[in-house]
Amino acid sequence: MKRRLYPGRDYRRAQNIDELREMARRRLPNFSFEYVEGGADDEVTLRRNRSVFESITLQPRTLRAVGARDLRRDFLGVESKLPFMIGPTGFNGLLTHQGDLHLAEAAAQAGIPFVLSNASTVSIEDIAAVEGVRAWMQIYLYRTREHVAKLVERVSRLGLEAIMVTTDSAIFGNREWDRRNYVRPLKLDWRNRLDTALHPEWMWDVLVPHGVPRFKNMGDLLPPGQDSVKGAASALAAELDPTLAWADIAWLRDIWKGKLIVKGLMHPADAEIALKYGVDGLVLSNHGGRQLDGAVSAMDTLPEVVQRARGHMQVFLDGGFRRGSDIAKALLLGADGVSIGRAGLYGLAAGKGPGASHAIDILRVELDRTVGLLGCSGLDELRPELIHDPLWRARAQQALG
């Protein structure tokens, strides 16, 4: 009998993240799935984000008494039950109604942080009201700094723990496959309009009776009546600021007294600069392969950044994490934790809130199994000597001293 993934819609039967991905692909109209899935240009970086994990092989120990395993990690001085967070992803209202709220609830149930995107269709206030949530806020430093200052004030008033500022989108990436779905900006071509009509379950969830999802945290940045996902596109594009520089990080550090995380750095030299600006953490990221095509993966640059930041800033990363073993490899190279993007969205699209929780649980179980099979009883026992490849092992050893 030929192997095949489960062809149905019951997210609970998904054995792994790739199976959730296929369920999401079937449930979503093409244009919505493509927005989640696609990368920039020839998608070289998108593929590298996955292929890098195959280049790191492991050499486990045995007879190590690993009956009880501890997956907890300290994130910014507070315990996280797992060494990963739900990272910021925009436009989630196009996957399911109140998508960000579902993700926040799933993160709270799992005891991990949830990072709300600046481009969310759920308000910060609604996220902050989720019971037990550990919420962080992602922002862009738009040209209209007054809007950014008001957003920071809002975040402070709600008592959110951290702001994560994204720095790699001052110029918008070239996402050709996404654009091919439209005859003009956000006007679907006839094939995609027909395809959308063939997804009535999605339409009744997302569009009826709620209408086109609206941005809930843009406030005075958008013209009156232009806060929908469709209407805001041109206004947001005009707000991207290619003059963004370290002086802007200093400005943000001055007005925000909580934890500050800089996302999008990929060069060790930039990590050294970040130390001068009172940054509490970094997220190494190539924006899921959606910005500069041909860029290295975050895993490629992780050891050198850890070497410079260790003891001064926490280092997180994202990009291509689909297995618990992927997370373990990042920890072996010195990461404090990882940020999950598409993996959580596949679960969300396949099964709403319970589907997102299932995605988290899949990664938890896989990571727990990987740690045990490596011969470790906790994350603190993950050491570079468990990496078989001489080059990767040497880089990890140099990074961790």
Residue-wise pLDDT tens for the chain (401 aa)?
Answer: 889 888 889 999 999 999 999 999 999 999 999 999 999 999 999 999 999 999 999 999 999 999 989 999 999 999 999 999 999 999 999 999 999 999 999 999 999 999 999 999 999 999 999 999 999 999 999 998 999 999 999 999 999 999 999 999 888 899 999 889 998 877 899 999 999 999 999 999 999 988 888 888 887 777 766 666 665 666 677 788 899 999 999 999 999 999 999 999 999 999 999 999 999 999 999 999 999 999 999 999 999 999 999 999 999 999 999 999 999 999 999 999 999 999 999 999 999 999 999 999 999 999 999 999 999 999 999 999 999 999 999 999 999 98
pTM: 0.96
341 annotated to a ligand binding site: yes
**How many other C-beta atoms can be found within 10 angstroms of the C-beta atom of residue 356?**
32
Query: Per the annotation, does 231 bind a ligand?
Result: no
Closest residue by Cα to residue 120 from 105, 141, 98: 98
Q: State the CB neighbour count (10 A cutoff) for residue 170.
A: 17
Q: Is 72 annotated as a binding residue?
A: no
321 is in an annotated binding site: yes
CATH number of 20-176+235-400: 3.20.20.70
Give the number of other Cβ atoms within 10 Å of residue 79's Cβ. 10
Q: Identify whether 209 is preceded by a cis peptide bond (ω within 30 of 0).
A: yes
Distance, in Å, from the CA atom of 181 to the CA atom of 193, rounded to the nearest integer, reads 9
**β 78-80/73-75 pair status:** antiparallel
| 320 labeled binding residue | yes
Check whether 319 is labelled as a binding-site residue: yes
Report the catalytic residues: 287
Residue/partner pairs of 217-221 with CB below 8 Å, 24 or more apart: 217/116, 217/118, 217/120, 217/123, 217/124, 217/151, 217/154, 218/147, 219/147, 219/150, 219/151, 220/144, 220/146, 220/147, 220/150, 221/142, 221/144, 221/147
Q: What is the DSSP string of 44-55?
A: HHHHHHHHHHHT
Residue 78 CB neighbour total at 10 angstroms: 11
